[in-house]
Amino acid sequence: MKRKIMVFDTTLRDGEQVPGAKLNLHQKIEIAQQLKRLNVDIIEAGFPASSAGDFQAVQEIARSVGNSVSITALARAVKSDIDAVYESIKLAQNPLIHVVLGTSNIHVEKKFNRSKEAVMQMGVDAVKYAKTLLPQVQYSTEDASRSDFEYLWETIEAVVKAGATMINVPDTVGYAVPEEFGELIRKINERLKNLDDRVILSVHCHNDLGLATANTLSAIKNGAEKVECTINGLGERAGNASLEEVVMGLKVRENYFNGYTNINTTELHRTSRLVSHLTGLDVQVNKAITGENAFAHSSGIHQDGLLKDKQVYEIMSPEEVGADSMELILTARSGRHAFKNAVEKMGFDTSDAEDFEELFAKFLTLADAKKEVYDHDVFYLVTNHGTVEQSSKQLYELESFQVVSNDLYPTATVKLNKGSESMKGSAVGDGPIDALYSAIKTLVGLEIQLKDYKINSLSRGMEAVGRVNIRVEYQGKIYSGRAMDTDIIKASANAFLNGINGILLDLVKD
Ligand SMILES: CC(=O)SCCNC(=O)CCNC(=O)[C@H](O)C(C)(C)COP(=O)(O)OP(=O)(O)OC[C@H]1O[C@@H](n2cnc3c(N)ncnc32)[C@H](O)[C@@H]1OP(=O)(O)O
Ligand SMILES: CC(C)C(=O)C(=O)O
Ligand SMILES: [Mn+2]
């Protein structure tokens, strides 16, 4: 029979330990509510002893979200920490106290400077105390993967006897490798079976060597029943095992792992975007499951294969994780099949082979120049087929610009070309980009509203390329534009013009 694997989300505790990821009370509640929709089994809401603000956030989450999902929070093996956890989560329907204490020689000697017996006793006392408050107590043997096995086991045995109901085995510094970590879990699981008390065996892996997901899956294969993860893999240093990767790994390879989770996978993408938006931490474009390119296919051979059958290059569907449907990005590396598919999707006929070859050649020229070809570009190519040069006169191009940023009158001057026509305009704005977009709008003369503006750095260092994505509204319809440049002001102008050209091509169509 397949085993149910419990999912414990620690985005709001380990994830929030990330520099720059600080969330306010409302943002934490919003994320907790989304985690509930995702259907995680346990939410670790924070570390209430750390500050009054964190205490309040955990308390609010327990009160408002904890009526259908188990809520926990972290404590050191310190009475006042355990009290803070209890006081903040006691209103949840299924509260769980989480106590952590190191078991490795490094922690015992360097961090606590006590004997192994004394540290173990601290853990036992902490569990005994927590049990006087709540029936459910999880004990984490911090740095388990670098611990001496017999001491680790003695600690587990002692805290289970003291009343711990879940044993969590962390690879705190991301040191373990999958085979070895799986073996550790198998050994602990074997010994747990001989105890009188029934406890849940859990793992918590970090990604310092990029192995957090692999180690977590290996632990499941070897008997772990519960996994601790975070959305987008956020967490200390290189982060924790990413929830979306572990869950989909288990789902796609369900027969291999002989297990399943109760996660509503169609909420994964939305959850990832919400966490990214609220923490301000971008998801890397090639991140498994939730990265922007996770379901984008850009090379001709792949696109051809996918169009013949999705299974050729797809192991899960984007719909399954709540992402937009399969995206074929047209570039100069695309082939005839993908281009034909895009043209036909717009309702055009491609049966004239000679005509199609000519169109394809023009597409390659455009793709070499533009790098990425959007639907409106394809539309433009097809509708102006034969008169491409003439029709390009309808589109705007940036010739030059000057932007002055100050706190009095941010000003911009732009020079645009539209075919042989050249035009120049200036405007002031609330800031440099606002001034730039106002100057462009005065020249273009369309009633456009900027709905979204996003800038990302695609690399680091002096030569970093900025990518600007914008969305504009014109006559109730949304158009998007995108551009990249090492000069972010230029990228901003070109992204805006890209959106405007999309509008113009739509007007030609109508
Ligand atoms: C692997 C993990 O992710 S563990 C969780 C990490 N999360 C956090 O640290 C949450 C944020 N932390 C905080 O707000 C603070 O560090 C607090 C409130 C926990 C403690 O603050 P302070 O009392 O000022 O102590 P500080 O952080 O400087 O030092 C930690 C102390 O806790 C002790 N300690 C560390 N881990 C544990 C533990 N698991 N159990 C008991 N004591 C512990 C240390 O030995 C040290 O004590 P010492 O002063 O006797 O040497
Ligand atoms: C609190 C524990 C589980 C932890 O975060 C770790 O060891 O990494
Ligand atoms: Mn951790």
Q: Which domains does the chain have, with CATH numbers?
A: 3-279 (3.20.20.70), 296-391 (no CATH), 395-509 (3.30.160.270)
User: Dihedral of CA 392/393/394/397: which sign?
Assistant: positive
153 CA distance to ligand 1 middle (Å): 24
Give me the sheet containing 396-404, strands edge to edge. 396-404, 411-418, 421-428
Nearest CA residue ID for atom 43, ligand 1: 76
Q: Which helix (H) or strand (E) holds 126?
A: helix 116-133
Q: Which helix (H) or strand (E) holds 140?
A: strand 137-142
Both tokens of residue 35? 């985690």
Both tokens of residue 64? 């408002």
pLDDT digits (tens, 9 = 90+) for 412-462: 999 998 878 999 999 999 999 999 999 999 999 999 999 989 887 765 555
Neighbours of 283 (CB within 10 A): 22
pTM of the model: 0.79
Both tokens of residue 313? 């290059």
pLDDT value of position 462: 57
The long-range contacts involving 310-317, CB below 8 angstroms and separated by at least 24 positions, are 315/252, 316/248, 316/251, 316/252
> Does position 392 have pLDDT exceeding 60, yes or no?
no
Place of tokens 């074997």: 190
> Does position 252 have pLDDT exceeding 70, yes or no?
yes
The interface pTM score, or ipTM, of the predicted complex is: 0.98
- Ligand 2 pocket member 168 (CB < 6 A): yes
- For residue 465, the one-letter residue type is V
Contact between residue 263 and residue 274 where contact means Cβ atoms under 8 Å apart: no
Distance CA 439, CA 425 (A): 6
- Ligand 1 pocket member 103 (CB < 6 A): no
Mean pLDDT value across residues 34-59: 97
Q: In 3D, which of 226, 82, 93, 222 has the Cα closest to residue 162?
A: 82
**Ligand 2 mutation target, pool 152, 172, 173, 181, most atoms within 8 A of CB:** 172
Can you say which residues are annotated as belonging to the binding site for Mn(2+)? 14, 204, 206, 240
pLDDT value of position 376: 65
Contact between residue 37 and residue 267 where contact means Cβ atoms under 8 Å apart: yes
- Ligand 1 pocket member 236 (CB < 6 A): yes
Q: Which helix (H) or strand (E) holds 138?
A: strand 137-142
423 CA distance to ligand 1 middle (Å): 63
133 CA distance to ligand 3 middle (Å): 24
Q: When comparing pLDDT for 63 and 502, which is higher?
A: 63
Nearest CA residue ID for atom 16, ligand 1: 50
> Does position 391 have pLDDT exceeding 50, yes or no?
no
pLDDT value of position 349: 77
Nearest ligand to the CA of 146 is: 2
b/e code 180-201 from CB counts within 10 Å (16+ = b): ebbebbbebbeebeeeeeebbb
Contact between residue 72 and residue 89 where contact means Cβ atoms under 8 Å apart: yes
- Ligand 2 pocket member 246 (CB < 6 A): no
Can you say which residues are annotated as belonging to the binding site? 14, 204, 206, 240
